[in-house]
Amino acid sequence: MMSSEEEIVIETIARDFLNVYRELYYIVESIGLSYSPKAIIQGFDRWFKNQDYFRTMNEDQRIDYLINYKVAEELLNFYSDILHLNMKALEALLKIKEGEKMRRDKIKDLVVYPFVRPLERITRKIINEWFVKIVRKIGKIDSPLFDNYNVFREKWNSIINEVEKIARSYGLDLRLEERVKELGVRPIEK
């Protein structure tokens, strides 16, 4: 087992994490991607508001949905900004004198945790605790949204796995608690 006193070359770990976080940021920020969380949530909102389920909700239920939708949308924007700033920080770490090292425990605090938290929060709060929950409550989802969500889930969980793999390669104990869940409903065909 590696000791927390052992040192890691900053430039190397920063470069490895930067490659993964560029992909993560691209998925979060790109509304043009049909499988980005922003596109899925916005597409779901448009679809859901045209469903009988939404029209039969009482006013309090509608307000609750609209508030939760807006919170999810704003949290995605917030975490997108955080990811962008974190990428800039990683890029700055690449400019540190070649071969500069840092203790393993400090690397985890400086490089790993700030970049893992947005990934965890988006996974848990926005996707699993809000989006998946509301889709399961409705019991159905539009077929294209279903397909796009599954592409997102596969890519997102792959990023989580890659982050853990990189951390392990440096002897860092890192395990993200959640993966994006399956929707647990069947798509409706048109």
Q: Looking at residue 190, what is its pLDDT? A: 63
Phi then psi for 101, rounded to 5 degrees? -120, 160
pLDDT beyond 90 at 31: no
- Residue 3: pLDDT band by 50, 70, 90 thresholds? low
Among 132, 145, 23, 31, smallest CA distance to 77 is for 31
Domain limits, the chain: 7-188
Q: Looking at residue 55, what is its pLDDT? A: 94
Rounded alpha-carbon distances, angstroms, from residue 164 to 57, 138, 177: 42, 34, 11
Q: Looking at residue 94, what is its pLDDT? A: 84
Phi then psi for 2, rounded to 5 degrees? -85, 145
Summarize the confidence of residues 143-171 as an average pLDDT: 94
Which of 21-30, 131-140, 165-174 ranks highest by mean pLDDT?
Answer: 131-140
Q: How far apart are CA 127 and CA 180, in angstroms?
A: 7
Q: Looking at residue 128, what is its pLDDT? A: 96
Q: How far apart are CA 43 and CA 48, in angstroms?
A: 8
